[in-house]
Amino acid sequence: MIEISAFKWVPPFARGLVKDLRVRWALEEAGLPYRSRTIDFVEQGTDAYRALQPFAQVPFYREEDLVLFESGAIVLRIARRSDALMPADEAGRDRATSWMFAALNSLEPAIQGLADIDLFNAEEDWAKARRPQAEAYVRQRLTQLSERLDGDDYLDGRFTAGDLMMTTVLRDLRQTELVSEYANLAAYQARCEARPAFARALDAQMADFTGDPPG
Protein backbone atom coordinates (compact mmCIF):
# COMPACT_ATOMS: atom_id res chain seq x y z
CA MET A 1 0.00 0.00 0.00
CA ILE A 2 1.08 3.57 -0.62
CA GLU A 3 2.54 5.26 2.45
CA ILE A 4 2.92 8.99 3.00
CA SER A 5 4.39 10.90 5.92
CA ALA A 6 2.55 13.53 7.92
CA PHE A 7 3.05 15.44 11.15
CA LYS A 8 1.61 14.32 14.45
CA TRP A 9 1.34 17.92 15.59
CA VAL A 10 1.44 21.40 14.09
CA PRO A 11 0.16 24.70 15.52
CA PRO A 12 -3.57 25.28 14.98
CA PHE A 13 -3.00 27.94 12.30
CA ALA A 14 -1.15 25.39 10.14
CA ARG A 15 -3.74 22.64 10.31
CA GLY A 16 -5.31 22.08 6.94
CA LEU A 17 -2.32 23.67 5.22
CA VAL A 18 0.49 21.13 5.60
CA LYS A 19 1.51 19.87 2.17
CA ASP A 20 0.56 16.24 2.74
CA LEU A 21 -3.00 17.54 2.22
CA ARG A 22 -2.48 17.93 -1.52
CA VAL A 23 -1.11 14.40 -1.77
CA ARG A 24 -4.00 12.98 0.25
CA TRP A 25 -6.44 14.87 -1.97
CA ALA A 26 -4.86 13.49 -5.13
CA LEU A 27 -4.99 9.95 -3.72
CA GLU A 28 -8.64 10.40 -2.78
CA GLU A 29 -9.51 11.72 -6.24
CA ALA A 30 -7.68 8.79 -7.83
CA GLY A 31 -9.29 6.24 -5.52
CA LEU A 32 -5.92 4.89 -4.42
CA PRO A 33 -5.71 3.49 -0.87
CA TYR A 34 -2.92 4.76 1.34
CA ARG A 35 -1.78 4.96 4.92
CA SER A 36 -0.12 7.84 6.70
CA ARG A 37 2.97 7.55 8.84
CA THR A 38 2.93 10.33 11.39
CA ILE A 39 6.20 11.74 12.62
CA ASP A 40 7.24 14.14 15.35
CA PHE A 41 9.87 16.84 15.16
CA VAL A 42 12.54 14.56 16.62
CA GLU A 43 12.06 11.87 13.99
CA GLN A 44 11.90 14.55 11.30
CA GLY A 45 15.57 15.35 11.80
CA THR A 46 16.92 11.80 11.90
CA ASP A 47 19.17 10.31 9.24
CA ALA A 48 16.62 7.54 8.70
CA TYR A 49 13.89 10.05 7.86
CA ARG A 50 16.18 12.18 5.71
CA ALA A 51 16.99 9.09 3.67
CA LEU A 52 13.34 9.25 2.61
CA GLN A 53 12.95 13.04 2.53
CA PRO A 54 16.33 14.75 2.09
CA PHE A 55 15.06 18.12 3.32
CA ALA A 56 13.33 16.72 6.43
CA GLN A 57 9.91 17.91 5.29
CA VAL A 58 6.57 16.19 4.74
CA PRO A 59 5.39 14.37 2.89
CA PHE A 60 7.41 11.58 1.48
CA TYR A 61 5.67 8.99 -0.68
CA ARG A 62 6.59 5.32 -0.70
CA GLU A 63 5.11 2.72 -3.02
CA GLU A 64 6.93 -0.60 -3.04
CA ASP A 65 10.54 0.28 -3.95
CA LEU A 66 9.75 3.81 -5.13
CA VAL A 67 10.27 6.70 -2.72
CA LEU A 68 9.44 10.27 -3.79
CA PHE A 69 9.59 13.64 -2.09
CA GLU A 70 8.22 17.09 -3.02
CA SER A 71 4.44 17.29 -3.10
CA GLY A 72 4.31 18.50 -6.71
CA ALA A 73 6.25 15.49 -7.99
CA ILE A 74 4.10 13.16 -5.90
CA VAL A 75 0.81 14.64 -7.11
CA LEU A 76 2.06 14.45 -10.69
CA ARG A 77 2.76 10.73 -10.33
CA ILE A 78 -0.69 10.14 -8.88
CA ALA A 79 -2.37 12.30 -11.51
CA ARG A 80 -0.78 10.38 -14.36
CA ARG A 81 -2.66 7.32 -13.13
CA SER A 82 -6.06 8.94 -12.77
CA ASP A 83 -8.68 10.14 -15.24
CA ALA A 84 -10.10 12.23 -12.39
CA LEU A 85 -6.93 14.33 -12.34
CA MET A 86 -5.69 14.30 -15.92
CA PRO A 87 -7.47 14.50 -19.29
CA ALA A 88 -7.10 11.55 -21.64
CA ASP A 89 -5.47 13.53 -24.45
CA GLU A 90 -1.77 14.35 -24.33
CA ALA A 91 -2.22 18.09 -24.89
CA GLY A 92 -4.75 18.28 -22.05
CA ARG A 93 -2.37 16.43 -19.74
CA ASP A 94 0.41 18.84 -20.64
CA ARG A 95 -1.81 21.84 -19.93
CA ALA A 96 -2.82 20.41 -16.55
CA THR A 97 0.86 19.92 -15.74
CA SER A 98 1.56 23.52 -16.73
CA TRP A 99 -1.04 24.71 -14.22
CA MET A 100 0.53 22.55 -11.53
CA PHE A 101 3.87 24.23 -12.17
CA ALA A 102 2.21 27.65 -12.29
CA ALA A 103 0.70 27.10 -8.86
CA LEU A 104 4.04 26.05 -7.40
CA ASN A 105 6.29 28.52 -9.21
CA SER A 106 4.26 31.60 -10.14
CA LEU A 107 1.93 31.86 -7.15
CA GLU A 108 3.19 29.88 -4.18
CA PRO A 109 6.47 31.79 -3.62
CA ALA A 110 4.63 35.13 -3.50
CA ILE A 111 1.86 33.77 -1.29
CA GLN A 112 4.24 31.98 1.04
CA GLY A 113 6.33 35.12 1.39
CA LEU A 114 3.30 37.06 2.59
CA ALA A 115 2.24 34.24 4.92
CA ASP A 116 5.70 34.11 6.47
CA ILE A 117 5.44 37.80 7.29
CA ASP A 118 1.92 37.58 8.70
CA LEU A 119 2.29 34.38 10.70
CA PHE A 120 5.87 34.48 11.92
CA ASN A 121 7.29 37.99 11.72
CA ALA A 122 4.39 40.44 11.85
CA GLU A 123 5.88 42.54 14.66
CA GLU A 124 9.36 42.80 13.18
CA ASP A 125 10.29 46.20 11.77
CA TRP A 126 11.63 44.69 8.56
CA ALA A 127 8.38 42.76 8.07
CA LYS A 128 6.23 45.86 8.54
CA ALA A 129 8.34 47.63 5.94
CA ARG A 130 8.26 44.70 3.55
CA ARG A 131 4.60 43.75 3.84
CA PRO A 132 3.05 46.34 1.45
CA GLN A 133 5.37 45.23 -1.33
CA ALA A 134 4.75 41.55 -0.56
CA GLU A 135 0.98 42.07 -0.64
CA ALA A 136 1.21 44.01 -3.89
CA TYR A 137 3.07 41.11 -5.47
CA VAL A 138 0.39 38.67 -4.34
CA ARG A 139 -2.34 40.95 -5.69
CA GLN A 140 -0.58 41.08 -9.04
CA ARG A 141 -0.54 37.29 -9.24
CA LEU A 142 -4.14 36.96 -8.08
CA THR A 143 -5.25 39.54 -10.64
CA GLN A 144 -3.52 37.62 -13.39
CA LEU A 145 -5.07 34.36 -12.24
CA SER A 146 -8.52 35.95 -11.97
CA GLU A 147 -8.26 37.37 -15.48
CA ARG A 148 -7.20 34.00 -16.86
CA LEU A 149 -10.01 32.16 -15.08
CA ASP A 150 -12.55 34.82 -16.11
CA GLY A 151 -15.98 33.17 -15.86
CA ASP A 152 -14.81 29.57 -16.20
CA ASP A 153 -15.35 26.98 -13.50
CA TYR A 154 -11.85 25.54 -13.81
CA LEU A 155 -8.49 26.53 -15.25
CA ASP A 156 -8.73 24.36 -18.36
CA GLY A 157 -12.33 23.33 -18.89
CA ARG A 158 -12.58 20.62 -16.23
CA PHE A 159 -11.11 19.84 -12.83
CA THR A 160 -7.53 18.56 -13.06
CA ALA A 161 -4.45 18.23 -10.91
CA GLY A 162 -3.71 21.83 -11.85
CA ASP A 163 -6.84 22.97 -10.03
CA LEU A 164 -6.00 20.75 -7.07
CA MET A 165 -2.57 22.30 -6.71
CA MET A 166 -3.82 25.85 -7.29
CA THR A 167 -6.49 25.47 -4.62
CA THR A 168 -4.02 24.27 -2.01
CA VAL A 169 -1.82 27.26 -2.78
CA LEU A 170 -4.73 29.71 -2.47
CA ARG A 171 -5.55 28.21 0.93
CA ASP A 172 -2.26 29.64 2.22
CA LEU A 173 -3.89 33.08 2.06
CA ARG A 174 -6.56 32.29 4.62
CA GLN A 175 -5.01 34.68 7.15
CA THR A 176 -6.02 37.47 4.73
CA GLU A 177 -9.12 38.54 2.80
CA LEU A 178 -7.26 38.74 -0.49
CA VAL A 179 -8.93 35.85 -2.29
CA SER A 180 -12.38 37.10 -1.35
CA GLU A 181 -11.65 40.37 -3.14
CA TYR A 182 -11.83 38.43 -6.41
CA ALA A 183 -15.33 36.98 -6.69
CA ASN A 184 -14.41 34.44 -9.34
CA LEU A 185 -11.36 33.22 -7.39
CA ALA A 186 -13.34 32.86 -4.18
CA ALA A 187 -16.02 30.90 -6.04
CA TYR A 188 -13.36 28.80 -7.77
CA GLN A 189 -11.67 27.90 -4.49
CA ALA A 190 -15.01 27.05 -2.87
CA ARG A 191 -15.98 24.93 -5.88
CA CYS A 192 -12.79 22.89 -5.67
CA GLU A 193 -12.99 22.52 -1.91
CA ALA A 194 -16.58 21.27 -2.22
CA ARG A 195 -15.34 18.09 -3.89
CA PRO A 196 -15.92 15.02 -1.70
CA ALA A 197 -12.32 13.90 -2.17
CA PHE A 198 -11.08 17.16 -0.68
CA ALA A 199 -13.31 16.73 2.38
CA ARG A 200 -12.01 13.20 2.91
CA ALA A 201 -8.41 14.36 2.58
CA LEU A 202 -8.88 17.25 5.00
CA ASP A 203 -10.63 15.04 7.54
CA ALA A 204 -7.81 12.51 7.32
CA GLN A 205 -5.13 15.13 7.87
CA MET A 206 -6.95 16.65 10.83
CA ALA A 207 -7.45 13.22 12.39
CA ASP A 208 -3.69 12.64 12.39
CA PHE A 209 -3.00 15.63 14.65
CA THR A 210 -3.06 13.62 17.85
CA GLY A 211 0.47 14.15 19.09
CA ASP A 212 1.54 16.56 21.79
CA PRO A 213 3.35 19.80 20.96
CA PRO A 214 7.13 19.64 21.24
CA GLY A 215 8.23 20.25 24.78
pLDDT at 95: 98
Same domain, 113 and 141: yes
Structural domain count of the chain? 2
Residue 213 lies in a domain: no
CATH code (residue 173) = 1.20.1050.10
Residue 90's contacts (CB-CB under 8 Å, 6 or more residues apart) are none
Is the pLDDT confidence value at 211 over 90? no
Is the pLDDT confidence value at 212 over 80? no
Residue 214 lies in a domain: no
Confidence band, pLDDT 50/70/90 cuts, at residue 213: confident
What gap in Å lies between CA 99 and CA 188, rounded to an integer? 14
Q: How confident is the prediction for the chain on average, in pLDDT?
A: 96
Same domain, 191 and 113: yes
Handedness of CA 158, 159, 160, 163 (dihedral sign): positive
Which amino acid is residue 91, in one-letter code?
Answer: A
- Cα→Cα distances 140→100, 122, 167, 176, 194, Å: 19, 21, 17, 15, 26
Is the pLDDT confidence value at 185 over 90? yes
Confidence band, pLDDT 50/70/90 cuts, at residue 215: low
Same domain, 8 and 75: yes
Same domain, 79 and 102: no
Residue 203 lies in a domain: yes
Same domain, 94 and 191: yes
Domain span at 22: 2-83+198-207
In this prediction, residues 2-20 reach a mean pLDDT of 96
Residue 127 lies in a domain: yes
Residue 144's contacts (CB-CB under 8 Å, 6 or more residues apart) are none
Which amino acid is residue 196, in one-letter code?
Answer: P
> How do beta strands 60-63 and 2-7 pair?
antiparallel
Q: What DSSP assignment string belongs to 115-153?
A: HHHHHH-TTSHHHHHHHHHHHHHHHHHHHHHHHHHTT-S
What gap in Å lies between CA 114 and CA 110, rounded to an integer? 7
Same domain, 66 and 139: no
Q: How would you label 34-67 residue by residue, b for 16+ Cβ within 10 Å and e otherwise? A: bebbbbeeeebeeeebeebbeeebbbbbbbeeee
In this prediction, residues 157-184 reach a mean pLDDT of 97
Same domain, 179 and 191: yes
Same domain, 191 and 149: yes
Same domain, 95 and 54: no
Same domain, 103 and 27: no
